[in-house]
C-alpha cells in the first residue's frame, strides 16, 4: 500500500520517543497492544476468535478507551471498525443479504431509540443512557458478524473451539478456588488481578451468596445461565469430534455440569433439565445416559454438599426468600408499566431509584420494563423468526458430525430462553447477551447450510427412489 512506508516511519518514531521517555515495561505492553490491534484490523476473524475466548473466560475484565468498558465489548467495537476499514479500502466488499431473523433484530435496534429518548427525559436519576444504549447495541451485533466472518465451516469450527476453550479456562479457575476456600468471595482476589474493577461493590454483592460458587461472571445466576447455554454445545461437539476437540468438548460438558450445581442457579438447572429431556425424548444419542449420570452425580453432591441441599429444598419451600421476592416483583410489575408505558430506557436498570417500584426477574417482562410492551413484542418476533428459520426439514433431530453445531447451538439458545422464565440475565446483561446472539447466529447459518444441502439432495432422491 502507498501508505505503508510513511506509516511505518511514523510508528517507528513514535515508539522511539516512547522508549526514550517511558519505562521499558510500559513500552513493551504498548507494542503488544498495538500489534494486537493491527492484527485484528487486518484479520477481524482473529478478533472474533479472541472475543470467544475472553468473553467466556474473563467476560468483565475492563479497559479504558475514553470510557470504561469490558475488554470483550472493546473487541466487538474494534472488529466492526476493522470491517468498516476493509469496506472503505475495498478489501471486503461482499454483500451479505439479511435473513428474516436479522431484519427483526434490526427492527428491535431501531425501535429501542424511542424508549432511549423517552427514558432520558422521564427517568430523573443519574445514569449514562447514551453509552449504555450504544453498548447494548454492540452486544446485539454478533448476530451480524456470523455471515461476515464465519461463512466458512472451518471458521465456525474455530469459533466453537474458542468459546469452549474460554469456558474451560473459566471453570478450571473457578471450581478449584471455590473448593479450596468454600465461599463465593474467594474469586474476587483472583479476578482483581485480571483486570476487574469495582471490587468493593462486587464483594458486597457476593457476600450474601457466600455458599455458592463465585466465577468471573461475578453473579452465580449469570454463571449458571452461561453454563446452561454452552453445555449442550460442548456435549454435542464432544460426542461427534475426534482428538483434542473431542476431549475439550467432553471436559467442558462435565465441568460445566459440576459448576452449574455449585453455583446453585435453580432456573438454569431447571431449564437445562427440560431441554435435555426434550433431546432424550427425540432420541438424541447418549442424552439419556448423561441425564442418568447427572442425576447420580447430583445425588452424591447432595449427600456431601449442604449448600446445594438448601438451594434445591428452596425449590419446594414456601419460605424461600428468592422465590418470595419474585412473587412480589410480579405483583408490582403492573405499577412499573403504568408509570413507564414506553419503558425506562437505558439510564439505569430496573428498579428506578426513588420510585418505589420493584425489578423483575423475567426475560420478556424485563424487555417490557426497559423498552415497553412494543419492544417486548418485537423481541418475541425475533425469537419466533429464529425458531422457524433455523428448523431443519421435517423438524428432524439427529446428532452426527454434520449436525452437532446446529443441534448444540439450538438447544443452548433454547435453554437460555427457558431460563428467562426465572431470571432476566439474557435481556440486557453485557457480554452474556453478546454470546447469546453469537450462538443464535451460528445456529441460524448452520441451519441455512443444512437446509441448502437437503434441497440439493432432494432432486437426486426423486430421480433415484
In a domain, residue 66? The reply is: no
In a domain, residue 438? The reply is: yes
Number of alpha carbons in the 13 Å side-chain half-sphere of residue 66? 3
pLDDT at position 177, please? 92
431: domain range? 99-460
- Terminal CA-to-CA distance of the chain, rounded, Å? 57
In a domain, residue 69? The reply is: no
Q: Choose the weakest-confidence range: 101-115, 144-158, 302-316, 401-415.
A: 302-316
Q: Which three cell numbers stand for residue 128?
A: 449514562
Question: pLDDT tens-digit profile of 40-54?
Answer: 888 899 999 999 999
In a domain, residue 67? The reply is: no
Q: Is 311 a residue whose pLDDT tops 60? A: no
Q: Kindly state the helix (H) or strand (E) to which residue 381 belongs, with its residue range.
A: helix 363-389
In a domain, residue 7? The reply is: no
Average pLDDT over residues 157-166: 97
Question: Which contacts of 90-97 are long-range, i.e. CB under 8 A and separated by 24 or more positions?
Answer: 92/148, 96/147, 96/148
Could you give the percent of the chain with pLDDT greater than 70?
84
Which residue reads 441425564 in cell numbers?
A: 291
In a domain, residue 77? The reply is: no
In a domain, residue 88? The reply is: no
- pLDDT-derived band at 386 (thresholds 50, 70, 90) equals very high
- pLDDT-derived band at 333 (thresholds 50, 70, 90) equals very high
In a domain, residue 152? The reply is: yes
- pLDDT-derived band at 289 (thresholds 50, 70, 90) equals confident
Question: pLDDT tens-digit profile of 195-231?
Answer: 888 888 788 778 777 778 889 999 999 999 999 999 9
Tally of domains within the chain: 1
- pLDDT-derived band at 3 (thresholds 50, 70, 90) equals very low
Amino acid at each position: 500500500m502507498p501508505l505503508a512506508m510513511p506509516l511505518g516511519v511514523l510508528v517507528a518514531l513514535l515508539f522511539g520517543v516512547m522508549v526514550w521517555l517511558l519505562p521499558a515495561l510500559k513500552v513493551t505492553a504498548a507494542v503488544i497492544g498495538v500489534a494486537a490491534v493491527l492484527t485484528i484490523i487486518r484479520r477481524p476473524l482473529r478478533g472474533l476468535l479472541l472475543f470467544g475466548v475472553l468473553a467466556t473466560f474473563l467476560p468483565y475484565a475492563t479497559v479504558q478507551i475514553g470510557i470504561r468498558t469490558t475488554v470483550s465489548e472493546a473487541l466487538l467495537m474494534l472488529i466492526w471498525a476493522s470491517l468498516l476499514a476493509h469496506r472503505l479500502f475495498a478489501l471486503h466488499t461482499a454483500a451479505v443479504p439479511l435473513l428474516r431473523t436479522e431484519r427483526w433484530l434490526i427492527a428491535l435496534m431501531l425501535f429501542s431509540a424511542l424508549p432511549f429518548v423517552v427514558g432520558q427525559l422521564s427517568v430523573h436519576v443519574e445514569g449514562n443512557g447514551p453509552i449504555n444504549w450504544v453498548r447494548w447495541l454492540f452486544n446485539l451485533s454478533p448476530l451480524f458478524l456470523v455471515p461476515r466472518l464465519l461463512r466458512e465451516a472451518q471458521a465456525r469450527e474455530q469459533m466453537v473451539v474458542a468459546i469452549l476453550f474460554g469456558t474451560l479456562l473459566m471453570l478450571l479457575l473457578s471450581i478449584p478456588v471455590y473448593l479450596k476456600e468454600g465461599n463465593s468471595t474467594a474469586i474476587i482476589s483472583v479476578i482483581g488481578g485480571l483486570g476487574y474493577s469495582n471490587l468493593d461493590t462486587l464483594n458486597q454483592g457476593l457476600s450474601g451468596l457466600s455458599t455458592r460458587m463465585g466465577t468471573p461472571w461475578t453473579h452465580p445466576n449469570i454463571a449458571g445461565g452461561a453454563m446452561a447455554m454452552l453445555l449442550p454445545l460442548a456435549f454435542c461437539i464432544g460426542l461427534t469430534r475426534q482428538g483434542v476437540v473431542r476431549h475439550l468438548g467432553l471436559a467442558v460438558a462435565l465441568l460445566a455440569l459440576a459448576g452449574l450445581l455449585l453455583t446453585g442457579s435453580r432456573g438454569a438447572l431447571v431449564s437445562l433439565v427440560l431441554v435435555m429431556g426434550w433431546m432424550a425424548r427425540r432420541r438424541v444419542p447418549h442424552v439419556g445416559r448423561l441425564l442418568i449420570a447427572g442425576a447420580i452425580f447430583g445425588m452424591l453432591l447432595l449427600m456431601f454438599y449442604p449448600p446445594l441441599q438448601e438451594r434445591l429444598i428452596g425449590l419446594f419451600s414456601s419460605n424461600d426468600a428468592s422465590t418470595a421476592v419474585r412473587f412480589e416483583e410480579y405483583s408490582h410489575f403492573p405499577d412499573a408499566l403504568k408509570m413507564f408505558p414506553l419503558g425506562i430506557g437505558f439510564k439505569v436498570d430496573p428498579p428506578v431509584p426513588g420510585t418505589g417500584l420493584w425489578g423483575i426477574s423475567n426475560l420478556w417482562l424485563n424487555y417490557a420494563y426497559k423498552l415497553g410492551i412494543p419492544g417486548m413484542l418485537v423481541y418475541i418476533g425475533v425469537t419466533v423468526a429464529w425458531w422457524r428459520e433455523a428448523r431443519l426439514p421435517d423438524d428432524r433431530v439427529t446428532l452426527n458430525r454434520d449436525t452437532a453445531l446446529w443441534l448444540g447451538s439450538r438447544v443452548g439458545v433454547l435453554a437460555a430462553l427457558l431460563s428467562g422464565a426465572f431470571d432476566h440475565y439474557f435481556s440486557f446483561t453485557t457480554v452474556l447477551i453478546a454470546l447469546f446472539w453469537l450462538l443464535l447466529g451460528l445456529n441460524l447459518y448452520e441451519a441455512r447450510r443444512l437446509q441448502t444441502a437437503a434441497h440439493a439432495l432432494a432432486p437426486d432422491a426423486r430421480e433415484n427412489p
